[in-house]
Structure formats: structure tokens, C-alpha cells
Chains A and B, each alone.
Chain A
């Protein structure tokens, strides 16, 4: 447990000092929102229809930026060797990196949300906690698989290009379930309406928290 927090804190401290991931993800998310508005010129009804999808697209795309940095940072100056030499189980390294990535991405998402209120007139505060919960659930699954793949992608020739190619197809269930949940919540539906989507999100999170922690040692091995 202590080693998980050591890694997590190291990454968070680095992020707090530089704010590199946070700022680039936030700016990138904002850009996506602006570009989508230009591309579609949404009417008020259209805005309502595209908000849930745009929300998740923005999160997934800016999430890629942060996840890419997560391990390329370790590769610089060969910091990863130090981490691998530490006498701890590799799955603890995974959970440390996962925790840091999760917190950084989730905080960025929180800061992106007001722009949805501003640009898309999203009724954010009516169901604030529910939406936040769904976003957290989706982000957990995405970041978990993302952390695993990020470790692999940074060791390939193509580095940054490889991660979205690996991660996006696998994330399809998260995108669909996340969009459906947010759409139903914004429409004021009862929980029973989107319960199956909710359980799909939970199932994804459970499976893809367990599996990556088991196979992570093969993804960072030199």
C-alpha cells in the first residue's frame, strides 16, 4: 500500500509543480469543444442531442494526451529502471500509476465541465453528483486500460501514435455506456432506465482493473 502511494504521490507532485498534463489536456478539451461547435453550428435541440457524446469524446481524446505522458516521462532519464528495480510487486506499480493518471484526468474533466455549461447550455447542476459519478466510473475503466497500454505504447517506435490505436477500440463499451447514462440522466430518466448501462460500466471497471494488474509486469518488462 505504501509503495502505491509513493508512486502516486511522486506523479501528482510532479504534476502539481509543472501542471503540464493538466494544462495541455484542458486546452485540448476546450479546443475540441470549439471545433465541434464550428463544425456543427448546433441549434438548441442539437446541442441537447450532442452534449453527452461530445462530453465523452472530449474526455477520451484529452485523456490520451495525459496517458501518453504518463510513461514517456518515466522513459526520460531512464527513471523506469529505478522503479522496476524497486523490490515491490509490479501490480503495485500499476496501481500507483493508475491512481495518479485517474486523479489528473478526473480533475481535468471537472475543470472542463463548466465549458459544457457555457457553450452547450448543459443542465449540469440539476444532476451534478449523478453525472460526476458516471464520469468517474467511465474514467476508471478508460484510465486502467490506458495505463496498461501507455506502458506498452511508449516502448514502440511510434510511441504517441500507438496509444489511441490500441485504446480507442477497446474503449467502445465505455463510450457507449457513458454516453447512454449521461443522456438518460440529462433527460431526467429514472435510474431503472439506464441501470443496465450502469452495470456495464461497473463490469468493465472490475474486469479491466483486475486483468491489467495481472499482466502489467509483461507490459513494462525490458
Chain B
């Protein structure tokens, strides 16, 4: 008999399937909102539309790394393997979303700021975060399976997240004149609707990807167990 926790990640879980279909619909709906419902921004023009993917991706990346932090602490205190699997899965998703931020950022920056890259606090912080968690994945890759890997990952998951405020503060002081992100975004009501729908959709996407990734991780673990039984 599977526990309730495992049922969530089983292949034939109805709720997960429904979430997948809901997500498909929400993605399409949010695209329609972004493309037609939200007005084209006055000064930046059409390229500003990338904002509706750029910012939610950044939110997902930070959310993912926050989840890693919490799961890492829970793993070290409980030694329950499920937290390690959850953390490692979340890192992968976080890395993907920070990569999306790092790609959409320059696409947006080139026409608006005139350069592909500016060493600007938020962009720089995302880059550093990306590098920290890529190192996390490498560490896992190079230290194989087992409890030791889980321990190492949890340590890095904690240290890596704690350093974020310090990194942000330092790169912010380092180049204050480069702060080109708007501190506050003035959005019309239609823009707000499109933005928050997109943000919500992306958060759902994170949850869905996490469930899917954890399922794969359990399948991996099951294969590993079978292999060891046969040896």
C-alpha cells in the first residue's frame, strides 16, 4: 500500500493529470491575454511583452530555490530521503527558470537599454544564483548516489540560499548606477490582469514540473533498487 505522499507522485494520479490539462488551458489562455488583451507598452513597444514571461520565470526560480532551502533543512533534521528528492528536483527546475530569465533578459535589454547585458543587480544576482545551483547539480552528478550525496546537497542548498541577500546587497552597491530595472512597475489594469494570470500559470507550471520530476526520481530509485537486488 502506498502512502498518501507517494500517491501524489504515482503515474496514474488523477489530480496530477487534471492539473496537467488545466495547465495546458491556462498557458494558452494566458498567452491570449498577453498577446491581445494587454495593451502594447507606450515607449518600449511590442518587446515589452516578454515581461510577462521574464518576471514569472524569475519568481519561479526564486520559489524553486526557496523550496530547496526548506527541503534541505527538513532533510538534515529528519534524514527522510523524500526531502532530498524534492530538493534535487526543485534545483533542476530552478536552474531552468533562471536560465530562461538570463535568456529573456538580454532579448528585452538589447532594444530597451541598448546593450545585451548590463551588470545590473537583479540580473547579476540571477546569474550568480544560476552558477551556484549549476554547481549543486554538478556536485550531485560527481558524488553519485547515496546518503552522502544527499547530505552534501542539503548543505549546499542551505549555504547557497543564505548567501543570496549578501550577493544581492553587494552587487547592488557595486554598481548602483547600473540599476536599470524599474523599482516600481506602473501597469494599467489590463496589463495587471495579464501579468497576474501569467504569474499564476507559471507557479502552477512549477508545481506540475516538480511533481513530474519527483516521479522520475522515484522511478530512478526503483530501478536502482532492482539492480542492486539482481546483483
Contacts and interface: CB of A to CB of B under 8 A. Distances in A.
Interface residues of A, number: 32
**Residue in A162, A168, A176, A222 with the greatest tally of chain B CB atoms within 10 Å:** A176
Nearest to B72: A215
Contact of A211 (B147, B162, B170): B162
Interface in A105-155: 145, 148, 152, 155
A145 B163 CA distance: 11
Contacts of B132: 169-170
A219 B143 contact: no
Contact of B151 (A156, A165, A219): A219
Nearest to B140: A156
B155 A152 contact: yes
Interface string A179-215: 0100000000000000011001001100110011001
Given A156-B139, A204-B166, A215-B76, A166 B151 contact: no
Contacts of A221: 147-148, 151
Nearest to B175: A176
A157 to B, nearest CB: 5
Main secondary structure of the interface of B (DSSP, over half): helix
Nearest to B163: A170
A169 B147 CA distance: 25
B204 interface: no
B159 interface: yes
Nearest to A176: B170
Main secondary structure of the interface of A (DSSP, over half): helix
Contacts of B135: 165-166, 169
B155 A157 contact: no
**Residue in A156, A208, A211 with the greatest tally of chain B CB atoms within 10 Å:** A156
B155 A218 contact: yes
A203 B166 contact: yes
Interface string B17-53: 0000000000000000000000000000000000000
B100 interface: no
Interface string B137-175: 011001110011001101110111011001101110110
Q: Which 3 A-B pairs rank lowest in CB-CB distance, beginning with the nearest?
A: A218-B151, A173-B170, A169-B131
Given A155-B148, A166-B156, A173-B169, 16 more contacts: A152-B155, A165-B139, A169-B128, A173-B166, A173-B167, A176-B173, A180-B174, A196-B173, A204-B166, A211-B158, A212-B159, A215-B158, A215-B159, A218-B76, A218-B154, A219-B151
Interface of A: 145, 148, 152, 155-158, 162, 165-166, 168-170, 172-173, 176-177, 180, 196-197, 200, 203-204, 207-208, 211-212, 215, 218-219, 221-222
25 contacts: A152-B143, A155-B148, A155-B152, A156-B143, A157-B142, A165-B135, A165-B138, A169-B135, A170-B160, A172-B170, A173-B163, A173-B166, A173-B167, A173-B170, A176-B170, A176-B171, A176-B174, A200-B173, A203-B166, A207-B166, A212-B159, A215-B76, A215-B154, A215-B158, A218-B155
Interface of B: 76, 128, 131-132, 135, 138-139, 142-144, 147-148, 151-152, 154-156, 158-160, 162-163, 166-167, 169-171, 173-174
